[in-house]
């Protein structure tokens, strides 16, 4: 199980790198088809990578206009729900070019194994004090 958790975290970190690339197609490659975004404006069901790319294209344009350069995570944890499902939770910190914090929020995702890659099936943004404290099997 520890190897699976490490792979989940590695794939989630690869998603973070894709997000920081600011390329919607790179981001979309880390999403399951279909997927859900649970974010402050509402819940969005996205059926295809093309829809994920469209949503993130608009979102990234707005984020960059506010000075966004990259995001980093604090306290990122993963747990296995089954052999094909896992959860990741942590605090996301979005930074500008000077390293100043633009925003800080809780980020919890359910991931599903798709061949050799873990992909985001549900992406939820929430208050930072509501981050899940995940633990592996006892």
Q: For the domain that residue 61 is a member of, what is the CATH number?
A: 3.10.450.50
Residue 121 has pLDDT above 50, yes or no: yes
pTM listed for this prediction: 0.93
Give the start-end residues of each E strand in 12-116: 31-39, 42-46, 68-80, 85-96, 101-114
DSSP state of 81: S
- Per the domain annotation, does 137 fall within a domain? no
- Per the domain annotation, does 108 fall within a domain? yes
Q: How many domains does the chain have?
A: 1
- Per the domain annotation, does 20 fall within a domain? yes
- Per the domain annotation, does 86 fall within a domain? yes
- Per the domain annotation, does 58 fall within a domain? yes
At 52-106, the pLDDT tens digits run 999 999 999 999 999 999 999 999 999 999 999 999 999 999 999 999 999 999 9
Residue 22 has pLDDT above 90, yes or no: yes
């Amino acid at each position: 199980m520890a190897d699976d958790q490490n792979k989940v975290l590695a794939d989630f970190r690869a998603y973070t790198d894709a997000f920081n690339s600011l390329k919607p197609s790179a981001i979309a490659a880390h999403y399951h088809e279909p997927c859900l975004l649970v974010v402050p404006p509402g819940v969005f069901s996205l059926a295809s990578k093309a829809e994920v790319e469209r949503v993130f294209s608009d979102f990234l344009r707005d984020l960059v206009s506010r000075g966004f350069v990259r995001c980093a995570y604090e306290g990122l944890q993963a747990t296995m729900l089954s052999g094909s499902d896992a959860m990741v939770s942590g605090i996301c910190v979005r930074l500008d070019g000077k390293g100043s914090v633009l925003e800080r929020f809780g980020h919890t995702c359910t991931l599903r194994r798709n061949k050799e890659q873990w992909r985001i099936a549900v992406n939820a943004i929430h208050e930072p004090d509501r981050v899940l404290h995940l633990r592996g099997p006892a």
